[in-house]
């Protein structure tokens, strides 16, 4: 593979982007019809957000960039802020941020704010799992044709799998930096280490002729510069999310109910207990990875002929 063949850093080269909606109201309503099928209570939460004006989804002139879910402590409502412009990414972002919002609803009954401060390793399980729990119902939202739907789901699963190897590069690089502080103060040695790790974890993408670009990828990874050892959390959370998704493929109602129960605990129990309650293992071991990657590959294979 050449870099432009690899899908792990966005769209495949020269593939026109899917345009799932043109008006923000379509995005809002589309998500509403998805959540109705995921779970009645989660759907009620989402409708409450619409009613209470807790969604600011569309891009407009002078609006601050970014997308996030925040929590309003007095009204006990989550608030989703984003800049939708009609892309597939916007659909994924709304589903993701809604997962955070549902976490806020479920844990809002806890008496102390500190109990709602869930660490990243589980907070992102709530959001990443929602992207996956919603994925079987994406077709109901009117965003995609059948072929586009298959492509959107394949891209989502492929990027989930390939994210782990990239996460491994970033994490291993940070370990090297903090274990070798003298070498890590020398940009040339940093570049060499980065390339070594990219070749170790992502050996199948051939950057011949683009060595400089390959090396410069590390400059775009802000976590390395701003948040020591912060990146592995996404990988852990994604493994949790994919275990919940695997449960849902067997028993949607049971998986969602365990997910909601875990969200309602906030941070009143340790991480392994949060995962366990959600029906997952807090782990990064071979067996669990193999199980969910095999499942993702099966679903990709089922979807791919349609593409």
Binding region for Zn ion (CB under 5 A)? 127
Please say which residue, 92 or 149, places its beta carbon nearer to Zn ion. Answer: 92
How far apart (Å, rounded) are the C-alpha atoms in residues 52 and 31?
A: 16
Q: Structure tokens of 76?
A: 């006990």
Q: Structure tokens of 228?
A: 């020591």
**Nearest distance in Å: CB 121, Zn ion:** 12
Q: Which residues of 162-199 are buried (b: 16+ CB within 10 A; e: fewer)?
A: bebbbbbbbbbbbebbeeeeeebeeeeebbebbbebbe
Please say which residue, 149 or 262, places its beta carbon nearer to Zn ion. Answer: 262
**Nearest distance in Å: CB 262, Zn ion:** 16
18 DSSP assignment = P
Please say which residue, 93 or 148, places its beta carbon nearer to Zn ion. Answer: 93
Please say which residue, 127 or 238, places its beta carbon nearer to Zn ion. Answer: 127
**Nearest distance in Å: CB 65, Zn ion:** 16
Q: Using CA of residue 225, residue 230, residue 236, residue 241, what is the dihedral sign?
A: negative
Cα→Cα distances 226→157, 173, 219, 236, Å = 28, 14, 11, 20
**Nearest distance in Å: CB 107, Zn ion:** 15
Closest to 264 measured CA to CA, from 41, 37, 96: 41
**Nearest distance in Å: CB 231, Zn ion:** 13
How far apart (Å, rounded) are the C-alpha atoms in residues 238 and 232?
A: 10
> Residues 306, 146: contact at Cβ < 8 Å?
yes
Q: Which residues of 75-86 are buried (b: 16+ CB within 10 A; e: fewer)?
A: eebbbbbbbbeb
Please say which residue, 127 or 247, places its beta carbon nearer to Zn ion. Answer: 127
**Nearest distance in Å: CB 212, Zn ion:** 32
Please say which residue, 88 or 127, places its beta carbon nearer to Zn ion. Answer: 127
Please say which residue, 54 or 190, places its beta carbon nearer to Zn ion. Answer: 54
**Nearest distance in Å: CB 98, Zn ion:** 11
Residue number with the smallest Cβ distance to Zn ion = 127
């Amino acid at each position: 593979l050449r870099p432009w063949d690899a899908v792990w850093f966005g769209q495949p080269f020269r593939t026109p982007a899917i345009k799932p909606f043109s008006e923000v109201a379509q995005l809002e309503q589309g998500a509403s019809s998805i959540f109705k099928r995921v779970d009645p209570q989660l759907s009620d939460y989402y409708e409450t957000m619409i009613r209470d004006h807790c969604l600011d989804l569309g891009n407009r002139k002078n609006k601050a960039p970014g997308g996030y879910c925040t929590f309003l402590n007095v009204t006990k409502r989550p608030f989703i802020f984003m800049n939708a412009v009609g892309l597939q990414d916007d659909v994924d972002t709304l589903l993701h941020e809604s997962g955070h919002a549902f976490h806020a609803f479920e844990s809002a009954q806890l008496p102390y704010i500190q109990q709602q401060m869930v660490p990243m390793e589980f907070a992102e399980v709530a959001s990443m799992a929602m992207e996956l729990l919603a994925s079987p119902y994406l077709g109901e939202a009117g965003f995609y044709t059948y072929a586009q739907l298959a492509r959107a789901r394949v891209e989502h699963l492929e990027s989930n799998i390939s994210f782990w190897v990239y996460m491994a590069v970033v994490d291993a690089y940070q370990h090297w930096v903090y274990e070798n502080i003298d070498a890590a103060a020398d940009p040339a040695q940093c570049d060499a280490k980065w390339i070594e790790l990219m070749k170790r974890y992502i050996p199948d993408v051939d950057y011949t002729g683009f060595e400089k670009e390959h090396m410069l990828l590390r400059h775009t990874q802000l976590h390395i510069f701003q948040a020591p050892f912060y990146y592995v959390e996404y990988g852990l959370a994604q493994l949790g999310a994919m275990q919940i998704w695997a449960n849902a493929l067997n028993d949607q109602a049971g998986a969602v109910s365990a997910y909601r129960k875990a969200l309602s605990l906030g941070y009143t129990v340790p991480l392994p207990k949060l995962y366990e309650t959600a029906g997952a293992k807090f782990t990064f071991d071979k067996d669990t990875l193999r199980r969910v990657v095999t499942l993702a590959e099966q679903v990709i294979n089922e979807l791919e002929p349609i593409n």
